[in-house]
Structure 1
Amino acid sequence: MKGTTIVKKQRPVNLDLTTISFPAAAISSILHRISGVIMLVAIGLLVWALAVSLQSANDFAMVQSLFTGWFAKFIAWGILTAFSYHLLAGVRHMVMDLGYWEEIKSGGLSAKLVFVLTVVLSALAGVWLW
């Protein structure tokens, strides 16, 4: 084979993905997107429940019985937790749009504050539901 050049690719053979650590601000951003998707699915579920419950008294009783079990309360708790996180992280992003909390230190601290406040609101939602 005249004129062919063999190129040796320099690439890692084994990547150790366990050593990668994301900063709190990156985790907050990813979770903000995930909570948005959860809320999108939850809106579909809640609109379905509203539409069915408005059809007749029997359908209302059926939806009411669906939403009184422990599993439905767990789903409602998850929806409320996703909503509270999405709301807090959204406020954090709007404050960052105003020019605050943009530095690495303050951005990480504000992300951790969102995590703590979400845990508190999630616990309060759990107490309220059960």
Structure 2
Amino acid sequence: MAEAVKQARPEFRNIGIAQISRYRLPWAGKVSILHRVSGAMMFLLLPFVLYLFEQSVTSELSFAKFSALLSNGFIKVVILALIWGYLHHFCAGIRFLLLDVHVGVTKPASAKSAVTVLVVSLLLTLIFGLKLFGLF
């Protein structure tokens, strides 16, 4: 008697290379990608961090070498990138732990927490960067 109205199912297609620039990733997706990037960056720069640590604690002469190395502007930028990577990874990790225990899993709450992670990590990086460059 009554025919079931067929609703058109949404069609999901893989996006091509040409469409990547127009694809709008949600904030939660951007934070997730940055979490992976920051983790990979910290892992890949671990030998550099260990070298800096070794130079800072071996002797007074190596500490002077460490201080001279840190006066280089490029090295300061690398250190600032490491600071951002750590702070973003830490803040996003807390967000993901909260999501694992089902806190903030709704779409609006997830977007809000993702933006909060970005803002907090960038503000903390700014504070540490000002201290690193001697402006604070």
- Give the structure-2-normalised TM-score: 0.76
5 Å-filtered alignment, 1:1-130, equals 15-52=18-55, 57-130=60-133
CA gap 1:69/1:95 in 2 versus in 1, 3 angstroms? same
Gaps of 5+ in 2: 1-14
Larger radius of gyration: 1
**Which position in structure 1 is the counterpart of 2:7?**
none
Alpha-carbon distance, 1:18 to partner: 2.6
1:7 aligned partner:
none
Listed as ranges, the gaps of 5+ residues in structure 1 are 1-11
TM-score by length of 1: 0.79
Indicate the larger mover: 86-95 or 64-73. 64-73
RMSD: 2.2
Shift of 1:41: 2.4
